[in-house]
Structure 1
Amino acid sequence: MKFLVLSDIHGSAESLEKALASFENKVDSIILLGDYLNHGPRNPLPQGWDTKRTAELLNERKEKLICVRGNCDSEVDEMMLAFPCLNAYSTIALPTTKGIRRIFLHHGHLYDRTKLSSWLPKGSIVLSGHTHVTLMEEENGLFYFNPGSISLPKCEEGKTCGILEVETESGKWKTENGKIKIGLYSIEGKLIREMAVIP
């Protein structure tokens, strides 16, 4: 199973369309890590800023979305969106032969690594955005991935997103022996780097 991981759209319909054109037909579901429509008071307007079109693009895909709230998201934004997007965090549980592998989703502005380490079992994957800076690393048994921003990057990789790939076998999750892979991509589809998540 493959998840497209997007964060910090900030109303850029142009960037969202590029990312969807590159990856939508290759994934089963889309994880959104917050900051959907508004650019926030600290950011400039992103290229291709069109909140109505951004909302339309997301609403057309509402059955495929797994979402959390960003620091720029509000009740007004949810009025434009046809799916729930104001939860501070969400989790995905992957059943394996060794128990549950957890994927924890949050925007990144509320929970620090100390809190997450006390909450989550070793081997959990933590997906977050917020900083607009890409990150891919393991620390104290947790795997951290930030796909950056598809519209307002603050890192040298430019506009980026991610693919989280979990191998399945006969309809069952297969996460033993490093069968979870995370890739960082440009929104045009170019692989920048990847990481295998070891059980």
Structure 2
Amino acid sequence: MKLFVISDIHGAAASLRHALEAYEGSGADHLIILGDMLNHGPRNALPHDYDPMAVVAQLNALSDAIIAVRGNCDSEVDQSLLQFPLDASYNQIPWFGRKLFLTHGHLYSTECLPPLRGGDVFCFGHVHVPAAKQQGEIYLFNPGSIAIPRQSYPASYGIITADALEVRALDSGEILQQCSLVPQVK
């Protein structure tokens, strides 16, 4: 099983279209969205390809494959337009003997982690900076942003498999960060 992970779309329709092309070519089983789907937010510049209604149409076309969590820029109005649930501030997925904890990153963060066991993966967005690394006994995973990347990183997305976390550049598919997942022994 493979998961394709994006975050911080912020209404950028062309960026999402490019990410969805990568998703379709990846062979991933699900599309994980870690929040901030339609609105650019008051602290972000307006994306050059800002078209929230086009983002709605693109996401609704894949609603059966999406697992999403709510970001700090997502609202009840957004939920009324989207055909998949996004109101939860977090979600948890059992994953090959470990837990994937999905959140946007504004409530739970690397400074305020939820309860996790050794080997679990904390998946978050919000900061627009990619991460795929082990920290102590847990893993931190941030796919970056497909629309408004920060700290000189390119727009990016993530891939999660049973044995690895990868962050890839949206334009080239180049691996920006990668971390092997140590097999869980039960």
- TM-score computed with the length of structure 1 as normaliser: 0.86
Residue number in structure 2 paired with 1:124? 120
The letter for the 1-side match of 2:92 is T
Is 1:83–2:84 an aligned residue pair?
yes
- TM-score computed with the length of structure 2 as normaliser: 0.92
Q: Secondary structure at the match of 2:98?
A: strand
Which whole-Å deviations, capped at 9, do the CAs of 1:161-198 have from their partners, x for residues lacking one?
A: 111112xxxxxxxxxxxxx2111111122222311011
Of 90, 98, 112, 2:109 maps to: 112
CA contact (8 A) 2:132 2:166 kept: no
The letter for the 2-side match of 1:156 is S
The letter for the 1-side match of 2:73 is C
Of 132, 140, 145, 2:136 maps to: 140
Give runs of aligned pairs for residues 25-104 of structure 1, distance below 5 A.
25-26=25-26, 27-95=28-96, 100-104=97-101
d(CA) in 2 for partners of 1:113, 1:30:
23
Residue number in structure 1 paired with 2:5? 5
Q: Secondary structure at the match of 1:116?
A: coil
CA contact (8 A) 1:122 1:142 kept: yes
Structure 1 residue 134 displacement after superposition = 1.3
CA contact (8 A) 1:7 1:129 kept: yes
d(CA) in 1 for partners of 2:75, 2:23:
28
Structure 1 residue 114 displacement after superposition = 5.6
d(CA) in 2 for partners of 1:125, 1:37:
26
Q: Percent identity?
A: 40
Most deviating of 64-73 and 18-27: 18-27
| Structure of higher CA gyration radius | 1
Residue number in structure 2 paired with 1:183? 166
Structure 1 residue 137 displacement after superposition = 1.9
Residue number in structure 2 paired with 1:196? 180
Structure 2: gaps (5+ residues): none
Structure 1: gaps (5+ residues): 167-179
Structure 1 residue 28 displacement after superposition = 1.1
CA contact (8 A) 1:4 1:24 kept: no
CA contact (8 A) 1:134 1:155 kept: no
Residue number in structure 2 paired with 1:157? 153
Which structure carries more strand by proportion? 1
Which whole-Å deviations, capped at 9, do the CAs of 1:99-133 have from their partners, x for residues lacking one?
A: x310000000101346426x111110111000011
d(CA) in 1 for partners of 2:23, 2:107:
29
